[in-house]
Amino acid sequence: MRTFIQPQRKQNEEKIEVRLDAGVVETLREYAEFLESPQGYVVTEILRKAFRKDKTFATWRNARHAEPGADGAGRAGRKRVPAN
């Protein structure tokens, strides 16, 4: 049976720091253990799946990159989501 996240392959990595709900952290630890993969890999693959499946984001991103002079640094047109 194929798992949701595929086995790890070599990646260029950059370190970030995030704060997560305690329950999510525990589930992440268990999922990483289940996959026998580092937590960073699991988070990366889940985010990649989300980015691929979010059609609204893809449309926004493509439009942003198609703008003349777009260097990826602008935030115009970005929808802000209120923090919980």
Instruction: Sketch the domain layout of the chain as residue ranges.
Output: 22-66
Q: Residue 45: phi, psi to the nearest 5?
A: -70, -35
**Band of pLDDT at residue 5, cut at 50, 70 and 90:** confident
Tens of pLDDT along 25-50? 999 999 999 999 999 999 999 999 99
Q: Terminus-to-terminus CA distance in the chain, angstroms?
A: 37
Beta-carbon contacts of 79 under 8 Å, excluding residues fewer than 6 positions away, are 60
pTM score > 0.85 for this model?
no
CA distance 26 to 32: 10
